[in-house]
Structure 1
């Protein structure tokens, strides 16, 4: 297409958009108590109904309700999902609105919360899933997933009391709440990951926001609020800081935005547009999202309990393989590939675990798992029978003071090597032996990282050992006890890899090998070549599997990956990750199972 034609089409598109978003608020909209812009019209809320009006303000459809707290998200087809709070029933009603077809329909109300709803708002995440936040007067709050056959509660959360309004900035995943008498707070909207709160602006003596905040609107590049005295304020967002910008407005009772993202304010004279010198930040491309195929039953302890998984392949029946997982408040768990718990070995506060099969000690052969026990700085060795039954075999003392991470390696001469580390950076390379029917351990090499390590993995095909240093990055050295343990940086933290650097695994198949590492700082997983120069192949997140009711994964500690054919969706292998925040519903931590095929497709791997 010739450039002049392209410019002409662009000018036509911009002109059409300008016509769709007029500079004045239509008369049929100006007197509404609350409003939300649609693709080609508006939803407005008055005392007795929600009304769908066209761009000129003419009514197309209505639903009777004594409502408050109107919010909307529009889809690519122009249809929109909206919510309104029924002030009589204290329940949120989802609405389906189509401004082009002129239709408005109520969907089944969300279940009763048991508390009065003071504020409600919508959020659409990078996976294009839509959520509703429900907030009570006493700070009780819930987040509900709106996609699927029926809404599902994702989590409960604690927010300030006396919240007057909430709005979510989808681009940054930020939930803003206006607290009466106090001010405006910013929370993490994504249910995955640790909750986080920051103050945007507060009332005296902590700030200049008179009598807190009563209304909110997300605008490109920031957020606007009306304080308790009706004065309009706005802030530009830069990273995790907000800077006040000049904006004129008095007597403001409510806020909204039009279809172009421009600020609207309602006062005694109705709705009006408010000039605001803010510019949206350049969009950041979201990471690909891969959905889990299964999840394990939660561990039997609350809090930070689940830590590290390992995978055992059944010698005859891939579908009968097992996932081992540590509970650092209890012991070792054994799951089948459907996530059902098959065994619990209460072996103490186990942290990391790793598995090697067909380990030779002379004429004897074992499938073995080795875990670190933080109670008394031991290595605990487990045998795995041909049917997948795990049994404790030995407790082997170490020289460490705060034992932490571990991985194992089968040297060419037989036996098993174990690499265990201390929080102070020390690594001890142990040779696990067998004498008189008992397992033994002897230090054969020592090295260290400058700060706290944890995850590691030995690649037996290449003889390399990959070591994660939580704050600095991923190192590589030789796994051979006879060679110097010279650490070379494979991938530093700070770019695609965000500290903490946690679990590490190696995937090797068909002449290709990759390292998968947990990038805990942004709840993602980085894939890089397992051979120099360790080229990064991409990163991904684990998202919500709506159909199977499985939440995503975040704040992952340990992981394991295999290329073994485990059957079904795992014919090309599997990734297992610890999930730091179990949602849908809230519960103790667990492990998520991901098909390697899904990862390969998401990242375009060979």
Structure 2
């Protein structure tokens, strides 16, 4: 019996038509299209078939599920070896007519029920492996050898998975339940949404057993063999009318057309889809180094600062807060040099050569959330950090902070509360002790955190997490009227978190953590505050360093720190340590790489 399926993701009914696939692949259990042919998987082998239907090569394997990504005439496929319960990467060259099995991925410790590929905006290729008990892993396939990026939890009894590279969405078919959508990018918070579920929550009889990503949406075969379609609509999906029964498999041909398999053959399915235009990807820069992870799990690392060695730039230090423990000090290779267990520190900022009369200090100031106070640290000429003072504040929930050297000497500190209050403190020194007094007060309408003071211009930039970036005067004698510089929305996505200033002879820039889309926005530090662009921090495959996401604090300097950091460095907190999974850390990025990515002066 000929099955006709009418799909319309635009609610348009099309006349059915059949287009047979080549006879050599018509009875394959699974199919994956190549630019000039097919990979066809049957119970005995994976076969390379050209566009004319001629078998060019085969790879003996009792396999299940095949997925492929192609570029430059060569394709990378994966297939599950059902005997060994391992995933085998396979290089397929359609022009040469060759299949070359690569070493299988390392054993996972669980039986693999489903596997699929993902190619991200950086053009790196990953494999997702899913077990029947909900265990799953993501592996990076680029580089000298595969690397496990992360472990993740998926539903039990996964029958199939597929990834929409354009939207970074991992679709999972769960037997008895339905289709789920996950964030495919390992960076950032895990997220799951239901696409279509079994009764009483939806209409998928016995859940889902097969998947195919189509332009603008996804198609699934339920446990009864009926097809269901969804079109992507923002962060959700809308259903479409579907007809047809007895379908056991789904695939996409080289032209993006849907194929469905019944118990006899593969058939073309008419499809009318309005593709969802993905947002243009942001430029990607790679970290040059990363710090050792902090010593506490969960949301622990928060804010970095940079101290430049006065004689040996390569001996400079990165300070980082652990809001479950204290202050960490790292060298430029990321090795931990000190740990000061001073309590739950949130933000930290550094100023060097601070004058108090005849005395001069390199100082770091951090907010301590246990006792709602400021902790002041001295930094010796060799980079050794020591606690110098604990300065009480009037705040109830101290949060963010930044410091400023006023023209008359001493140090000013701007500290904020979660309720929006800002206190401007003047830090002085008397009888060999540091003191602090309030010299100005102002507030934001909602929760702030990051701020940075520009001593060259006398401006104070303030981040309000949900609303955007503001500017006011850093001078205690002036009115602290806030003016909006860049509202949240567009390139800058809430939460607005860490802020730093890159100061150079030619031009200065403000760098802001756009936590809502795991990116960093760069704009001029002078009116009219022209936005220069945004970038993401991606994976450094060669050095085995993962990217950065959900960044809280950051710091940037234009100081020559030697080596790749001759024009300065950006340090960011990484909210999700991957490759392998672990506690949070900080990533070090060369300013030269950012300047090239955004075309900066």
Name the counterpart of 2:29: 33
How big is each residue's C-alpha offset from its partner over 1:235-257, in whole Å with a ceiling of 9 and x where there is no partner?
A: 11111111111233210001010
- Normalized against structure 1, the TM-score is what? 0.96
Q: Higher mean Cα deviation, 86-95 or 507-516?
A: 507-516
Matched ranges for 1:499-510 at <5 A: 499-510=494-505
Q: 2:506, 2:50 → 1: CA distance?
A: 60
Say if 2:26 is the partner of 1:44: no
Name the counterpart of 2:122: 127
How big is each residue's C-alpha offset from its partner over 1:523-559, in whole Å with a ceiling of 9 and x where there is no partner?
A: 0000000000100000000000000000000000000
Say if 2:54 is the partner of 1:70: no
Q: 1:493, 1:588 → 2: CA distance?
A: 29
Q: 1:444, 1:461 → 2: CA distance?
A: 21
Say if 2:200 is the partner of 1:222: no
Does the 8 Å contact 1:28/1:56 carry over to 2? no
- Structure 2 spans left out of the alignment, 5+ residues: 1-17
Matched ranges for 1:144-543 at <5 A: 144-543=139-538
Q: 1:510, 1:465 → 2: CA distance?
A: 19
Q: 1:160, 1:550 → 2: CA distance?
A: 29
Of 50, 53, 71, 1:54 maps to 50
How big is each residue's C-alpha offset from its partner over 1:163-187, in whole Å with a ceiling of 9 and x where there is no partner?
A: 0000000000000000000000000
Q: 2:391, 2:207 → 1: CA distance?
A: 60
Task: State the 1:47 CA deviation.
Answer: 0.6
Task: State the 1:495 CA deviation.
Answer: 1.2
The secondary structure found in structure 2 opposite 1:160 is coil
Task: State the 1:283 CA deviation.
Answer: 3.3
Q: 1:115, 1:109 → 2: CA distance?
A: 15
Task: State the 1:285 CA deviation.
Answer: 1.2
Q: 2:120, 2:582 → 1: CA distance?
A: 22
Q: Higher mean Cα deviation, 444-453 or 248-257?
A: 248-257
Task: State the 1:29 CA deviation.
Answer: 1.2
Name the counterpart of 2:20: 24
Name the counterpart of 2:3: none
The secondary structure found in structure 2 opposite 1:602 is helix
Name the counterpart of 1:10: none
Name the counterpart of 2:14: none
Name the counterpart of 2:542: 547
Q: 1:154, 1:63 → 2: CA distance?
A: 28
Task: State the 1:260 CA deviation.
Answer: 1.1
Name the counterpart of 2:7: none
The secondary structure found in structure 2 opposite 1:97 is strand
How big is each residue's C-alpha offset from its partner over 1:131-182, in whole Å with a ceiling of 9 and x where there is no partner?
A: 0000001000000000000000000000000000000000000000000000
Task: State the 1:78 CA deviation.
Answer: 1.5
Q: 1:543, 1:69 → 2: CA distance?
A: 29
Task: State the 1:23 CA deviation.
Answer: 4.6
Q: 2:495, 2:279 → 1: CA distance?
A: 22
Runs (4+) of structure 1 exceeding 3 A deviation are none
Q: 1:403, 1:330 → 2: CA distance?
A: 16
Of 92, 104, 116, 2:87 maps to 92
Does the 8 Å contact 1:36/1:257 carry over to 2? yes
- Normalized against structure 2, the TM-score is what? 0.97
How big is each residue's C-alpha offset from its partner over 1:444-496, in whole Å with a ceiling of 9 and x where there is no partner?
A: 00000000000000000000000000000000000000000010000000111
The secondary structure found in structure 1 opposite 2:170 is strand
Does the 8 Å contact 2:167/2:278 carry over to 1? no
Q: 2:145, 2:169 → 1: CA distance?
A: 25
How big is each residue's C-alpha offset from its partner over 1:482-518, in whole Å with a ceiling of 9 and x where there is no partner?
A: 0000100000001110000000000011220000000
Q: 1:265, 1:244 → 2: CA distance?
A: 19
Does the 8 Å contact 2:19/2:267 carry over to 1? no
How big is each residue's C-alpha offset from its partner over 1:537-589, in whole Å with a ceiling of 9 and x where there is no partner?
A: 00000000000000000000000000000000000000000000000000000
Q: 2:323, 2:525 → 1: CA distance?
A: 29
Q: 1:395, 1:502 → 2: CA distance?
A: 25
Q: 2:273, 2:433 → 1: CA distance?
A: 71
Structure with the larger RCO, 1 or 2 (CA within 8 Å, 6+ apart): 2
How big is each residue's C-alpha offset from its partner over 1:88-124, in whole Å with a ceiling of 9 and x where there is no partner?
A: 0000000000111111110000001111000000000
The secondary structure found in structure 2 opposite 1:29 is coil
Q: 1:143, 1:57 → 2: CA distance?
A: 34
